[in-house]
Amino acid sequence: MKNLTPIHTSSSRPARLAALKQSFQDWNNTQDAITRLCRRLSTTLSLENQLTILADEMSGTIPFDALNYRNRIARQDFVFATGMGGPHRCEYRLTLEGLPYGTLTLHRRQRFSDDELAGIEMMLSGAICHIRNACQFLTIEQAALTDALTGIGNKRALDEALQRASAMSNRHGYAWSLILCDLDHFKQINDHHGHVVGDHILARTAEKLEQALRNSDTVYRFGGEEFAILLPHTNEQEAREVADRIRNALESIRVDGGEIPLTVTASCGVAMHLTEESSEQWLARADEALYRAKAGGRNCTRVFASIS
């Protein structure tokens, strides 16, 4: 029996390539709103850039006064806002395949018409796959900067934050302080009660640290039982007060250790950023202050004074 499957000869290839080229040119040159939106969104995986593009493309078809977007990505709130709000709004919870990808809200002085609402939904339908990809990319980025056990920033995240803080302090003269906090005799807990109990204490420590701080402060785990707290707009004395408050908060931790609940204490070293100081030098001074606290009997705070 003969094979009836069609065979593509070499003579048909130029026609297929020409059709492909024409299709690509049409896609690049088309001026319809959805295609243009998708074409622009496909050029970036930055969620902020994508929302900027979406706002730009949408405003050309459906005027609005403000666009707001909120999402919780990898334990962090992502917020994007442009424009000033009006009394009328329409809100959309963005989902794809049953998974949420944030909430987008448009505000305007005048009420949105039914045709405008339908147009917004069409544009969001064209954008949702790109927004999903950007959210997933941001999740992966955050995972690379997150300590798996405690959910707070890791050493890499701390290094990047210290570099940014140093640059801002040098440029604007802002006061930034760094606290290094080390749990006292933690190795004994792991040796006597096991790493499961030790890990539980570390997770509780991260929770207590976050609860004891302002929203603008950030916490990182950069060693086994060592944590760092970065404090913007904070001088030495204020940072010392924060460190003492942190130590008091950690003393309230109680973990089942058998007959007697396990408790922890901590030693803290404080250093304020100096003008034109590198992030490595800043970290080294805070580490020296922590060493003095541990050498001085532990469960105390020492400050590396900015003026000798």
Catalytic residues: 225
Burial of 2 (0-12, 13-18, 19+ CB in 10 A): exposed
Q: Enumerate the β-bridge partners of residue 241.
A: none
223/96 Cα distance (integer angstroms): 39
Residue 292 CA to chain centroid, in angstroms? Answer: 33
Residue 9 sits at φ, ψ, to 5 deg, of -85, 165
Residue 223 sits at φ, ψ, to 5 deg, of -155, 175
CA dihedral 235, 236, 242, 246 (to 10 degrees): 140
CB 220, CB 153: distance < 8 Å: yes
Strand order through the sheet with 218-221: 218-221, 226-232, 176-183, 266-272, 301-304
Per-residue buried b or exposed e for 287-301, using 16+ beta carbons within 10 Å of the residue's own CB = bebbbbbbeeeebbb
Residue 50 CA to chain centroid, in angstroms? Answer: 17
